[in-house]
Structure 1
Amino acid sequence: MTSVEKSTSTSPRRDPGWKYCHLQDPNNKHNVVCNFCGKVTKGGVYRAKQHIVGGFRNTTKCNQCPAHVHEEIKEYMLRKSKGNARTNIHEIDAFDEDDVDDTEVQSHGKRASSSQNSNQITTKRAKQRAFVDLHFTPNLEKVVQDKREGKMKQAAISETCKKELRDKAYREIAKWFYDAGISFNAAKLESFSLAVEAIGQYGPGMKPPSYDELRGPLLRKEVDHTKELVQSHEEDWAKHGCSILSNRWRDSVSNRDIMSFFVSSPKGVVFIRSIDVSNNVKNANGLLHVLDQMVEEIGETNVIQVVTDNTSDYVAMAKLLEAKRPHLYWMPCAAHCLDFVLEDIGNLPLVHRTLNEAVFLNGYIQNRTGMVNMMKQCTRGRDLPRFTVPRFAAAFLTLQSLHHQKSNLRKMFTSEEWSKSKWAKKQAGKRAANIVLMPKFWENAIDVLKIIGPLVRVLRLVDGEEKPTMGYIYEAMRRAKNATARSFKENEEKYGHIFDIINNRWACQLNHPLYAAGHFLNPEFFYSNPKIRQDEVVVRGLYECIERLVPSLELQDKIIDELALYKNAEGLFGMEMAKRKRNKKAPAEWWRFFGLSTPNLQKFAVRVLSLVCSASSCERDLKIFKRLHSKRRNRLAQERLNDLVFVKYNRALMRRHNWRDAIDPVLLNDIDDDNEWLVDMEPSGGRFELVYYRRRSRV
C-alpha cells in the first residue's frame, strides 16, 4: 500500500477523491488535506477534488498531482454532472452527495432530521444556481440583438402563459415613465432594452438601486468603465493621430463660461472634460495655458490639429500655440466659418428681405392653430418645419419649405375659408397673404435658393459626424461656386458679389494647408483632375504640412521620394482594383488598402485624411449640460455634474460612431450637379418657372 492511499483505503465512502486526500481532523468534516502537496482545502471532498482537477475559481490547482489521477477525478466529476446542461470543466459546481454527508452529521454524532436535511439541500442548490446564474447568464447585448432579429422567439404556449405578466410589467414601466416625466424617446435607447433584460435575468425579488447608490457608487463605477473605454482610444491616437476639439459657451444657470474638450480620431470622438474659464474668457494667454495643458495631456506627438471657434481671442491664442508647439496646427471650425459666409450673404438687401418675409410667414402660420389646420387641408396633412437651431441655415430651410408648398399656400390664401376668417381682416394676416400672392417674393426666393443652396450643402457636409471630411472641403467649395455660376447661366453680374464674400472668408479663415494636403491626397480627385499636381497653392499646402507634421528630416525626404509612386500610379496604386476603388472607398481607407508601396507616405496620408474639419461635436455638449444642470438642480456638485456629463456624453458619442458609415466615400454629387433647387418647370403667370424639388435635409 502506498503512502498516498494510507488512511483512506479502508474508508467506507464511495467518492474516489478520498483515495487521494484525508481529513485533517476526524472531528472536522470540512478541512481536507491533499495527499500529494499537503494543501488544506476547506469545503469537504468536493473542494479537494476541485483542487486536484484545477480550473476552478474556488481553489488553486495541485501541481504535484499525477496526470492519471487528474484524469480520473475529472472524468468522475463530469460523470456526476451528467444531465446538467453545464458540462464544461470551468462551469462545474453541481450538487455532490459527499457534500451532504459533511452537513448531515451533527456535532453530537446524530443524523439530522429529514426535514432539516431537505432544507439544507434546497439551500445549497439555490446557492449553486445563483453562482451559475451570476457567471453564465447570456450576454445582454447578444440577447437583445437576437430578440430584435427574431432568433429567440418562445413557443406559443409560453407566450400565452407570459402575456399577462408581460402586460403587467409594461404597465409598471409606463407608470414610471409618466411619474418621472421621462421622454418617450428614452425607450429607443439600447441601454433601456439591456436594463429590462438584466432585470429579467435576475428574476423576481430584485431590489431597485437607491437614490444614494445611483448618485454615488453606481455613478463612480460607470465613470471608471467609461474611462476604460476612453483609454482604448489612446492607441488609435498614437497610430493615426487625433484632433482636439474645443468649444466655449455660457452657462446661464451659474453664470459661468464653460470650455469643453473632445478628442476626435478614426475610432470616434470622446469627451474629456468641461472646465470653468470665466477668468480667461478674453485672455489669449489664459486660453493658451488651458489648451496647452490639454495638448500635453493627450500627447503632442498624437495631436495633429486643435479646432476651436474663430473669434479674435482664439486667433490670438492660435499664434501663441503654434509658436510653442511647432508640429501641430490650429484650425478654425469650418462650420462656423461657413456660418459667417452665409450670414454675410444674408446681409445683402435682396437676401435679407426675402428671408425675413419667409420667417414672418412661417411664424404667422405656426403660431395660430386655426391657420395650421387650414394649411393642412391644402397640403394633405403636411406641416411646415419648426427649426430651433440658432443658425442662419434655419432661415434658409424655412424658405426652402415654403417654396416647396408654394401652390398649396396660394390655394389656402385664396380660399373662401381664409377670406371669411378673422385673420384675413387683420394687418398681419393681410401682410402674410400679400407675401404668398406676390410673384416678386417667389422670384426672389428662387434667386436666394440658387445662391445659398450649394453653400448649405457644404455646411451640412462639414458639420456632420459620419465621415472625415478633410479630403473633401476643398473640392466641395469649388463645386458649390460652379453650381451657383451655372444656375445663373454664367452671368457674373448676378453672382460676382457673392463670390467676393466667399473668397474673402476663404482667404482669411478657410485657406489652410491641411485642406490643400487633403485635396491632393484624395485619390478620387487627384487622378480625375490632372490640374491638381500643377496647382501651386495645393502643392505648397501639401509640402507645408509635411514639414510641420513630420519632425524628422529623414522621414520628410522619404515621403517626398514616395510621392512619385503616387503621382505616377505605380506599385499597388496602379492595380486595376486600386483604380476602381478610388471613388468607392473613403480616402483614408483607400490608403490603408493600397498604400503599402509607400509606407511613410501612407502613414502621413491616413493621418491627414482621417481629420475632421469642424468642432460641431462640442455643441451637443451644451444641450446635455443644460439638461443635467437646470435651475432646479443648480446646486449639483461640480464634480458630480462633470461625472454625469462625462458618462452621458461619451455613451452618446459612441452610439453615434457605431451608427456611422466611415468606409464609403463622401458623395459630392448634390453639390456638383446643377443647382438642385431648380430641376423642373411649371407654368406661372403666363411663363414657365423653375421649381425646386425638395430633398431630405440633415442640417
Structure 2
Amino acid sequence: MEDIGALPWMKSILDKAKFIVKFVTTKPKVLNIFRAHSTLDFPKPSMTRFCYMYIVLDRVLRVRKGLLCTVVAEDWYNIQEVRGGDTLFTQFSVLVMGDDEFWTKGDTLVAAIQSVYNVLRITYMEGSTLSLLYEYIDRIQESIQKVVGLSDIEKTTLCDAVRKRWDWFHKPIHAVAHILHPLWRSEQQFTDIELENSWIDYIMRWSGGDVAILSELETERLQFRSMERYLGQPIARLRENQIASVTWWEKYGVSTPLLRRLALRILSQDCSTGPAERNWSTWALFHTKKGID
C-alpha cells in the first residue's frame, strides 16, 4: 500500500483524506458536532495500522453526509475560529462542500485498490492462505483495468506498482502452492512458463535432486491434474471450494502419498507473520501490570 500511496496522482487525494481525519479528531468541538450527525467514527490516526491508507479513505467517503451536516450545523458557526475566518476551518469547509473532484476521485481510488486490500487482508488472516495469494495477485490487474474513472496512464502506473512489489517478494513456493490447490488445477498450468520454472526450482531443492523422487512427483502430479482415482471423485470435486486445501489433501490425497506430503507441507503455511504478531502482543500483555490487573 505504501508504494501505491506514493504515486503522485494518488498522494494528493490521500493527503486530503488524512487532513479531514486529523482536523476532525484533533478539535474536540468539531468532533462533537460530527459525532452528533454520524453513526460512524474515524479510525485513530496510526500509520502502522494495517492498510491504514485504504481504511481512512474509505471511511471518509462513507461519512461524507455527516461531514456535510457538520459544516452547516448551527453549532459550527458558533465556533470562534469559524467566525474569525481561521484558515484551517475555511480549508476544511471548502474541501467538504466544494471539492467535488476529491470526492469523485476518492470513490474511484477505493474501487481501484479494493482488490489490493483484499489480497493484503488474505495474507494477514489466520490460517493457511498461502495457496490463494498467486491467483488473487493475478486478479488485481484485471480488477484495476475494469475500474471506470481512471485514465490508461493511471491504470498502468497502478498495475506497475503492484507488479513491482510482487516481483520483489514472491518466491517459488507461492507458485507451487497455487499449483497444488485443488481449486486452481487446470491444463493451462502446464503451459505457464513462470509456474513451471517455479515448480522445477522448488522440487529440485525439496528432493535434493533425487531422480526417483522427482519421477514419482511428476507421475503423481499428472494424476492430480487428470483427477484420477480419489482425486477425481465427485465428492472431491465438490469439496474443492468448500474446505481448506490442507483438509482436502488429507482426505482425498491418499492415492498420491508423495505429492500429498509435499502439499501438506506447503499449504499449511501462513502468508505472513501477522497472526504470530497478534499472538505475541497478547502474550506480552500478560506480563504487563495492565495485563496482571
TM-score greater than 0.5 by the shorter chain: yes
Number of residue-to-residue matches in the alignment: 286
Determine the C-alpha separation between the residues in 1 that align with 2:282 and 2:56. 23
Contact 1:358 1:395 in 2 (8 A): no
1:410 and 2:71 matched: no
Determine the C-alpha separation between the residues in 1 that align with 2:161 and 2:40. 36
Contact 1:343 1:392 in 2 (8 A): no
* AA aligned opposite 2:174: Y
Match of 2:131 in 1: 471
Contact 2:5 2:53 in 1 (8 A): no
1:514 and 2:186 matched: no
Match of 2:271 in 1: 613
Contact 2:13 2:106 in 1 (8 A): yes
User: Unaligned 5+ residue runs, structure 2?
Assistant: none
1:557 and 2:218 matched: no
Determine the C-alpha separation between the residues in 1 that align with 2:22 and 2:102. 17
1:433 and 2:90 matched: no
Q: How far apart are 1:629 and its partner, in Å?
A: 6.9
Match of 1:535 among 192, 199, 213: 192
Determine the C-alpha separation between the residues in 1 that align with 2:183 and 2:149. 28
Instruction: Indicate the SS of the match to 2:146.
Output: helix
Q: How far apart are 1:447 and its partner, in Å?
A: 2.8
Determine the C-alpha separation between the residues in 2 that align with 1:543 and 1:571. 25
Q: How far apart are 1:488 and its partner, in Å?
A: 3.2
Instruction: Indicate the SS of the match to 1:356.
Output: helix
Match of 1:400 among 58, 65, 76: 58
Instruction: Indicate the SS of the match to 1:494.
Output: helix
Distance 1:358 1:624, change over 3 A: farther
Q: How far apart are 1:505 and its partner, in Å?
A: 1.9
Determine the C-alpha separation between the residues in 2 that align with 1:539 and 1:354. 41
* AA aligned opposite 2:164: N
Contact 2:220 2:259 in 1 (8 A): yes
Q: Residues 163-562 of structure 1 correspond to what in structure 2 (within 5 A)?
A: 342-379=1-38, 381-388=39-46, 390-391=48-49, 393-424=51-82, 425-437=85-97, 438-465=99-126, 467-488=127-148, 492-510=152-170, 512-527=171-186, 530-551=187-208, 552-562=210-220
1:598 and 2:253 matched: no
Q: How far apart are 1:389 and its partner, in Å?
A: 5.5
Q: How far apart are 1:570 and its partner, in Å?
A: 0.9
Could you list the per-position Cα deviations for residues 32-63 of structure 1 after superposition, in whole angstroms to 9, with x for gaps in the alignment?
A: xxxxxxxxxxxxxxxxxxxxxxxxxxxxxxxx
Match of 1:584 among 217, 228, 242: 242
Contact 1:488 1:495 in 2 (8 A): no
Distance 1:626 1:596, change over 3 A: closer
Determine the C-alpha separation between the residues in 2 that align with 1:430 and 1:358. 16
Determine the C-alpha separation between the residues in 1 that align with 2:33 and 2:169. 47
Determine the C-alpha separation between the residues in 2 that align with 1:351 and 1:412. 26
> Structure 1 or 2: larger strand share?
1
Q: How far apart are 1:514 and its partner, in Å?
A: 0.5
Q: Higher relative contact order at CA 8 Å, sep ≥6: structure 1 or structure 2? A: 2
Pick the structure with greater CA Rg.
Answer: 1
* AA aligned opposite 1:462: T
Determine the C-alpha separation between the residues in 2 that align with 1:485 and 1:388. 31
Distance 1:392 1:614, change over 3 A: closer
Could you list the per-position Cα deviations for residues 318-344 of structure 1 after superposition, in whole angstroms to 9, with x for gaps in the alignment?
A: xxxxxxxxxxxxxxxxxxxxxxxx212
Determine the C-alpha separation between the residues in 1 that align with 2:165 and 2:213. 34
Contact 1:516 1:542 in 2 (8 A): yes
Contact 1:587 1:609 in 2 (8 A): yes
Distance 1:593 1:490, change over 3 A: farther
Instruction: Indicate the SS of the match to 2:214.
Output: helix
* AA aligned opposite 1:357: K
Q: How far apart are 1:470 and its partner, in Å?
A: 1.4
Q: How far apart are 1:358 and its partner, in Å?
A: 1.1
Contact 1:520 1:533 in 2 (8 A): no
Determine the C-alpha separation between the residues in 1 that align with 2:253 and 2:218. 14
Q: TM-score, normalised by structure 2?
A: 0.89
Q: Give the root-mean-square deviation of aligned CA atoms.
A: 2.4
* AA aligned opposite 2:60: L
User: Unaligned 5+ residue runs, structure 1?
Assistant: 1-341, 631-643, 649-699
* AA aligned opposite 1:403: L
Distance 1:554 1:618, change over 3 A: same
